[in-house]
Amino acid sequence: MAVLQTERPVRRPPARTSHRRQFTGRTALVLLAFMLPAIVFVALFTYYPLLNGIQMAFRNYNLNDLSDTSWVGLKNFRTLLHDDMFRGTVKNSVVWVVGSLVPQFLIGFTMALWLRRKFRFRGTYQALVFFPWAVSGFLIGILFRWMFNGEFGVVNDLLMKAHLIDTPVPWLADAKYAMVAVIVANVWYGVTFFAIMILAALQSVPDELYEAAAIDGAGKVRTLFGITIPSIRTTLALTVLLRVIWIFNSPELIFGMTGGGPANATHTVTSYMIQVTQEGDYGRASAMGVMVVFVLILFAIFYLLAIRPRTPRTTARKVAG
Amino acid sequence: MIRSETLAGRIARFGGLGICLLFTVFPLYWILVTSFKAPGTIFAYPLKYWPGDFSLENYRGLFSQSNFAVFLVNSLIVSTVAAALSTVISLLSAYVLARFEFVSKGAVMGAFLVTQMIPGFIALGSLYILMTKLYLVDSRWGLVLVYVAVSIPLCTVMLRGFFENVPASLEEAAMVDGCSRLSALFRVLVPVMTPGLAASYIFNFVNCWNELFLSVTLLNSDNNKTIPAALNGFISSYNIDWGSMSAAAVLSIVPTMVLFAFASRYIVEGLTAGAVKE
C-alpha cells in the first residue's frame, strides 16, 4: 500500500493538539523511550538491509558461489544494460505501467463522478466495490489466471457467447496476448483506488462553484474541464504519481498470474529482479534494485517539477525570455 | 445538489455503476462458484455459471491432500502477532510525533515516508543474509519481526492522524491527576481512539496476511509456511489443481474481506488524510 498525500477531504474543527511548550529532561527521556521501538525496528529490518543492498550492487555476490565476493565496480550494471532479457523487462514495465494506468484513471474518474451525487445504498455500493483492496495482488493474479485459462476459462466462454471470438484464445500461453491479460487484471485491481481517491477530492470542491457555473449557463463538459478538474488538480497529479510508482513496484499480480511467462513476455523489471534474487545472484539483483529506486526518484522529481502550479512570476519570465 | 439530472442521465449513471459493480464482483463470484463445484464438473463444457449440486469436495481435498490447516494456522499466528506488535509500537511513536515538536521530528517522519516509496522486496537478498546471521530464517517469529518493521511507518502515519482528532487536554488532565504519561496514554487516549486503533490493526493484519515475497524468501519448511508462501508452491507446479486451488483462494480471501468490511471507512479516512502535511 502506498502512502497517500492529498488534500484532506473531511473538514474538522481545529483543535489544539500540539504541546509547543518546552518539555523537561525527564519527559524527553520518556518520549525517547516511546519512539525507540519504532526506530529500532525500522532501522534494523528496513534501512540496514537497504543500505547493505546498495553496496552489494557493486560486488560479485552470488549465493551459489560465495568464494569470491570482491568489489567489481559497475560490472553488474554494465552486464544488465547489455542483457537483452533485462532490456525486454524495461520495455514490458513501460507497457505494464502505461497500459494499466490510463484505463484505471479514466474508469476511476468516471466512477467518482457518478458517485459524487448521493443516492440510496451509496455506502453499500462503495463497500462492495471496495473489496479488491482487501485481496492481495498475488491472489488477484491467481483469480485471473483461472478466468483467463485457455481451455476452461470463463473469459473465453463469455467472449464466445457474445460472438466476439470464434475459437478460444490461449491468453496466458501465447506471448502476444499474455500482457493484455495481466493488464486487464491490473486495471480491474486498481480502478477502485482511483475512484475512492478522486471521490474524496471531489467532495472537497464547494458546491457554490457548481452553482455559479450553472447560473453562468456552463454545460457539463465546460463544468468538468473548467471547474472540477482544476479544483482537484493536485490530488489528481499526486494520485497518478503514487499510482505509477505503485504499479511499477508491484509484481505480485504478475507472479500469481503468469510468473513472468510465457517466454518472459510479462516479466517486468521488478518481477525479474525477484526472480534473479531467488536464483541467488544478489549482486545483480541489488544492481537492479538500485536502478529501480534511482529511476523512480528521478521520475518523481521531474514529475513534481512538471506539475507544480505556475506562479505568475514564472509565466512573466517566460514571456520576457 | 448541483444541478437537476435528466432521466437519461440518471439511467446512464446507474447503468454505468451497475456494470462497474458487476465487473468488480464477478471474479470473486467465479472463484466461489468454482470452489463449490464437484471436482469433475470444473472442467466440463458448457461452463456452468451456477454450481448446481453444491459440493464441498474441493475443500475436503485441500485439507486432506496438503498441509493447508498448518498454513492457515501459521498465517493466523504471524498476522495476529505482527499486527498487534506493530499497532502498539506505532501507537507510542504516533503519540510522540502528533503531540510534540522536537528537532529530529522531520527526519523521523521523512525516514518513515521514504520506506513507503521503496518496495519492501527491493533488498530481499540482504534481508535474507541478515536473517541468516540472526538465526531467524525459516522461523515464523523472524517473519513476525520483519512484518512489524514493514508495518510501523504507515501505521504510525495513520495513527498520528487519528491522534489529531483527540484534544491534548484529555491526557493533560489525567496527568495532573497523577497518571504517568504511559498510563494516561493507555487509560485515557486508547479508549477514545478505539475505532482508529481497530482500523489500524485490521489494516496491518490484512497486509501481513497477504504478504508474498518476504514469506516466500524467509520460510522454506512446510511446517512454517504461511498461506501465500504455500500457494506460491501450488502454482509453480506444472499442473495446477484448480479445484483445491479455488478452495484455497476462497479461504484466504474471505477473512480479509470480512475484516476490511468492518474497517473500510476508517481505513479510507486514515489513508486519504493520513500522510499529514508538515
Instruction: Choose the closest CB to B269 out of A10, A37, A259.
Output: A10
Instruction: Choose the closest CB to A2 out of B13, B116, B260.
Output: B116
> Residue B273: what pLDDT?
54
User: What's the gap in Å between the CA of B108 and the closest CA on chain A?
Assistant: 8
Residues B92 and B33 in one domain: no
3-state SS record for A29-65: HHHHHHHHHHHHHHHHHHHHHHHHHHHHCCECCECCE
Q: Average pLDDT, stretch B43-64? A: 86
> Residue A211: what pLDDT?
86
Residues B166 and B225 in one domain: yes
Q: What percent of chain B has pLDDT over 90?
A: 53
Decide if B91 is inside a domain.
yes
Domain count along chain B: 2
Residues B173 and B196 in one domain: yes
> Residue A208: what pLDDT?
86
Q: Average pLDDT, stretch A219-233? A: 87
Q: Which domain holds residue B27?
A: 7-55
Residues B173 and B201 in one domain: yes
Q: Is the pLDDT of residue A100 over 50?
A: yes
The domain that contains B240 carries what CATH number? 1.10.3720.10
Decide if B60 is inside a domain.
no
**Across the interface, do B148 and A19 touch by the CB < 8 Å criterion?**
no
**Across the interface, do A15 and B167 touch by the CB < 8 Å criterion?**
yes
Summarised one tens digit per residue, pLDDT across range A191-219 is: 988 888 888 888 888 888 888 888 888 88
> Residue A5: what pLDDT?
42
Q: Is the pLDDT of residue A43 over 70?
A: yes
Q: Average pLDDT, stretch B12-31? A: 92
* B232 contact A CB<8A: yes
User: What's the gap in Å between the CA of B82 and the closest CA on chain A?
Assistant: 12
**Across the interface, do A3 and B157 touch by the CB < 8 Å criterion?**
yes
Contacts of B120 in chain A (CB under 8 A): 46
Extract the C-alpha cell encoding A310. Answer: 505556475
Decide if B62 is inside a domain.
no
Q: pLDDT category, A9, cuts 50, 70, 90?
A: very low
**Across the interface, do A56 and B260 touch by the CB < 8 Å criterion?**
no
- When scoring A133, A151, A203, A254 by the number of chain B Cβ atoms within 10 A, the one with the most, hence best to mutate, is A133
Summarised one tens digit per residue, pLDDT across range B214-245 is: 999 999 999 999 999 999 988 887 788 899 99
Residues B143 and B250 in one domain: yes
Amino acid occupying residue B274: G
Q: What is the mean pLDDT of chain A?
A: 85
Nearest alpha-carbon partner for A224 in A244, A246, A198: A198
Decide if B176 is inside a domain.
yes
User: What's the gap in Å between the CA of A78 and the closest CA on chain B?
Assistant: 19
Q: pLDDT category, B3, cuts 50, 70, 90?
A: low
Q: Average pLDDT, stretch B185-194? A: 89
Decide if B30 is inside a domain.
yes
Residues B138 and B229 in one domain: yes
Grid coordinates 507472479 are at which residue? A255
C-alpha A207/C-alpha A70 separation (Å) is 65
Decide if B61 is inside a domain.
no
Q: Are A234 and A8 in contact (CB under 8 A)?
A: no
> Can you spell out the DSSP letters for B57-111?
HHHHHHHHHS-HHHHHHHHHHHHHHHHHHHHHHHHHHHHHHHHB--TTHHHHHHH
Q: Are A210 and A277 in contact (CB under 8 A)?
A: no
**pTM of structure:** 0.87
Decide if B77 is inside a domain.
yes
Q: Average pLDDT, stretch B25-37? A: 93
Q: Average pLDDT, stretch B159-187? A: 88
Decide if B2 is inside a domain.
no
- Strands (DSSP E) found in chain B: none
> Residue B71: what pLDDT?
96
Residues B136 and B35 in one domain: no
Burial class (CB in 10 A: 0-12, 13-18, 19+), A284: buried
Residues B88 and B35 in one domain: no
Least confident of A150-154, A270-274, B209-213, B258-262: B258-262
Residues 171-200 of B with CB under 8 A from A: 181-182
Contacts of B112 in chain A (CB under 8 A): 42
Q: Are B247 and B61 in contact (CB under 8 A)?
A: yes
Q: Are B230 and A139 in contact (CB under 8 A)?
A: no
Residues B151 and B43 in one domain: no
Q: Average pLDDT, stretch A239-262? A: 90
- When scoring B87, B104, B212, B258 by the number of chain A Cβ atoms within 10 A, the one with the most, hence best to mutate, is B212
Q: What is the mean pLDDT of chain B?
A: 88
Summarised one tens digit per residue, pLDDT across range B92-107 is: 999 999 988 888 889 9
User: What's the gap in Å between the CA of A162 and the closest CA on chain B?
Assistant: 14
Q: Is the pLDDT of residue A3 over 60?
A: no
Summarised one tens digit per residue, pLDDT across range B255-276 is: 888 888 777 767 666 655 543 3
Residues B221 and B103 in one domain: yes
Residues B51 and B72 in one domain: no
Residues B115 and B140 in one domain: yes
**Across the interface, do B130 and A4 touch by the CB < 8 Å criterion?**
no
